[in-house]
Homo-oligomer: A and B are copies of this chain.
């Protein structure tokens, strides 16, 4: 099986979804940012008081998800019917996890919208905290769930075994196809 995003001359094309059915499609993606203790505490203080970094990040992530088709060259314009961003703060590793869930009734899925929403939200956290820490790291961005498409539902189990053949320190997760 080869790429679906190139024509017979090797030039990139949008995948033709004209003949596909409009169905309800949903996708969730996640990712996290590792921060210093100082940043972690400042962000947490903000969520219960003044200076709500995560509020700005949620807004930016939703706006970013809507603009996915402008950023990712071969993505289709989709009239998203829902976008929701949540955060989870892990005090043990001083990390902030972000999950973005997107829905649409359309001819193609919204996994790129969910991944883009996560990425923009995490970049926004980075931006607002970068005066405090120059060593933050964004990572573990992956698709958690995808339902509604012809290719079957996808559920990536989070805490499953992370090793795959040929991948040394990957953090890749088990996948169940339903």
Task: Give the secondary structure class of A's interface.
Answer: mixed
Minimum C-beta distance from A4 to chain B (A): 5
A11-47 Cβ-contact flags toward B at 8 Å (1 or 0): 1111111101000100000010010011000100010
Could you give 29 example pairs across A and B, Cβ below 8 Å?
A: A3-B42, A3-B51, A3-B53, A3-B129, A5-B51, A12-B52, A12-B62, A12-B128, A13-B82, A13-B85, A14-B62, A14-B80, A18-B81, A18-B103, A18-B105, A56-B73, A63-B73, A66-B70, A74-B127, A76-B79, A76-B80, A77-B77, A77-B79, A92-B168, A94-B166, A119-B138, A136-B142, A137-B173, A139-B171
